[in-house]
Structure 1
Amino acid sequence: MSYTEETLTEKREVDSIIRDTLDKVLVLRFGRSSDPVCLQLDDILAKSARDVSKFARVALVDIDSEDVQVYVKYFDITLIPSTIFFFNAHHMKMDSGTADNTKWIGAFYKKQDFIDVVEAIFRGAMKGKLIVTCPLPPERIPKFQLLYKDV
């Protein structure tokens, strides 16, 4: 379990953090604390928290919570962890050469990769963009096939 990021289990908490996080990138990690890849990602998020704190806020969303299923369905979260970005309540998308520009699937390979992605989203958002190009080289972007449907 991560001690530096807040864990959201209710729809109203997710609504509130999306609405109330202003002038910073909001990073929502959808997953479960028992999943090894989620734990790997959570470790990177925790180690990066101080570095991105001036321009980003990170929160974890427990996908096993019945109350947040509306978001799980809305963002079509079938693989975990899935990380979704917002800026001033706008869903930020990122073209990373994968089929899905709405979310980051999987963990980041290293702390600097996460920081680079959040910085790119922040810079794009400050210029009024709703989609940015992923700053990472293709070999550091996780590739996933949909092997299973039920999370």
Structure 2
Amino acid sequence: MDFLITTLTKKQQVDSTIKDTIDKVLVLRFGRTSDPVCLQLDGILYKSMREVSKFATIALVDMDSDDIQVYVKYFDITLIPSTVFFFNAHHMKMDCRTADHSKWVGAFHRKQDFIDVVEAIYRGAMKGKLIVPCPLPPERIPKFQLLYRDV
């Protein structure tokens, strides 16, 4: 059984994927296929698909698509790759001891880190939580200096 990661280029595709993914974590990777860090993350996502397929769905969102910019602005995606999580159309947040709980910025260090994060989100979501603590040790969480516009 071979897996392919769906790429979404239209707002309507993202909308319906969020709405139609039921009882699974939806993992949306915002980025560009030309970016080396995105490609590294995509490799981890691809290699993890079989293991997370029972409780997660993964899709790539093309940042360069004009139709997607409403989501780029909404989630304030300034650094790529940025990964956003949903469960039953609810935006799932993760407390990684950083300023931004709304998305994972950067690549995961290894496949198991990604699987652990998705599992933590799934378990929290099944208990009705909208924010879960990050299961990874601090040294495996990418650190970025977040710049806020108009603050």
After superposing on structure 2, the runs of 4+ consecutive aligned residues of structure 1 that deviate more than 6 Å are none
Counterpart of 2:36, as a letter, is P
TM-score, normalised with respect to structure 1 = 0.95
1:27-71 CA deviation, whole Å, 9 max, x = no partner? 000000000000000000000000000000000000000000000
Secondary structure in structure 1 of the residue aligned to 2:4: coil
Query: What is the match of residue 39 of structure 2?
Result: 39
Q: For 1:146 and 1:123, how far apart are their aligned partners in 2? A: 28
Structure 1 vs Structure 2: percent identity of aligned residues? 79
Q: Shift of residue 145 of structure 1?
A: 1.9
1:142 to 2:142 alignment: yes
Q: For 1:84 and 1:4, how far apart are their aligned partners in 2? A: 19
Q: For 1:46 and 1:99, how far apart are their aligned partners in 2? A: 28
Query: What is the match of residue 84 of structure 1?
Result: 84
Query: Aligned runs of 1:1-151 on 2, under 5 Å?
Result: 4-146=4-146
Counterpart of 2:92, as a letter, is M
TM-score, normalised with respect to structure 2 = 0.95
Q: For 2:107 and 2:35, how far apart are their aligned partners in 1? A: 11
Counterpart of 1:17, as a letter, is T
Aligned residues: 146
Secondary structure in structure 2 of the residue aligned to 1:84: strand
1:108-151 CA deviation, whole Å, 9 max, x = no partner? 0000000000000000000000000000000000001247x9xx
